[in-house]
Chain A
């Protein structure tokens, strides 16, 4: 039991706040002040009281609770924190150990092995090269070409579908009278408003959720698709990202790093099931029960990136796809195999899922991803609606 003298209470409080911050739990000075003031009403010799008070005042999200308890024990009881507590803190990129084979390097190694003869000079700024890159399958690309793809991602302007919210903002061309401003204008103008102030509904970007398959059968595409996710995550507001093979992992915070290599390294160190088998149905079930309620309100768009090779039951996959589609505004499936001219969705899992997909597009080369990007900008206004004709022609053109 921790017994505190009145003298060192303050320094203990401050020290504990520092320990929390060091472990990655953000604590504001206002919270620390509240904790200190709370000592007035609690018995500082009772560890239970101190613990509950600390929890009420300093902890502000449930996810941090386990880490919080460990830091608490370490600080007030002198127990040495177990390793996992430290492992939660990501190393700054400059401190990273270089020896670890990064995902990017591994995949580049494999890409090179499939295409050993070709030597390519870095002429990626030349236009003709862009065109070659545009139509080349990601799976066949060399390291240099993949770099060029990355540059193309970075240079592009990314936009995403919007929705009409129920919040109103002032706009002169709005459809509704702004009575509040009308009255204040009229009062100032001696009873006459020279111009009628109007307001209209605010437009916001839709939330986007990306679920990417990183199992063995997708391996050759994983790197590019992760880069694609990274650039969307960085450029758009409100993007959530997950990867799955045999289990679902949320990688939104990992992809927040600015440098794409560091971000992908971070993902590689976090994800345990790279290039393993696939259980799409089970992973979707995990998403539907744990995350869907939190992320799919407000008209979210969901993108699934997978080839549909399912080791689990196709029946379950079908059911989960139906539930997922009920909950989101639009469900888009990207399949790199769709790029092959002879492709038919014969894989059992893919055939099962297709019934519940709004759009089925390819993602095997730069052109098809461009088509996807255009598609995302121009999603139809109504749920389940058909995309506009011109767009349909371009996207299906790249698919065929």
Chain B
């Protein structure tokens, strides 16, 4: 289960909308309890460094990745994962997402449609390198 503070959710959605029709990307941080439940409190928006078609691909530079590690260290938060958007496509990971994915990280995908609506889902690699969906706690975000 993963829960997302409203400010963090708003930042990710806004990044998806502002970047449309390109893919946006960034990192998120927070806490994890002993049962593996995660709570996202902070978001770091970074540049989509992909050269070429940013509408279908994203890439984060090594320099920006290290900013993410530094952010977690300075704020004393856990570095929990990566978000990106799928403009005009569902919030389901592609094969390219899976091949490039790292263990432990949650991967939030924001589906952004041309009518400016968004839908968010979260995924995590299992031990067989396959994505499994993580339930997003929507109870505290009833207006989303």
B and A form one assembly? no
Q: Which residues from chain A sit less than 8 Å from chain B, CB to CB?
A: none
Q: Which residues from chain B sit less than 8 Å from chain A, CB to CB?
A: none
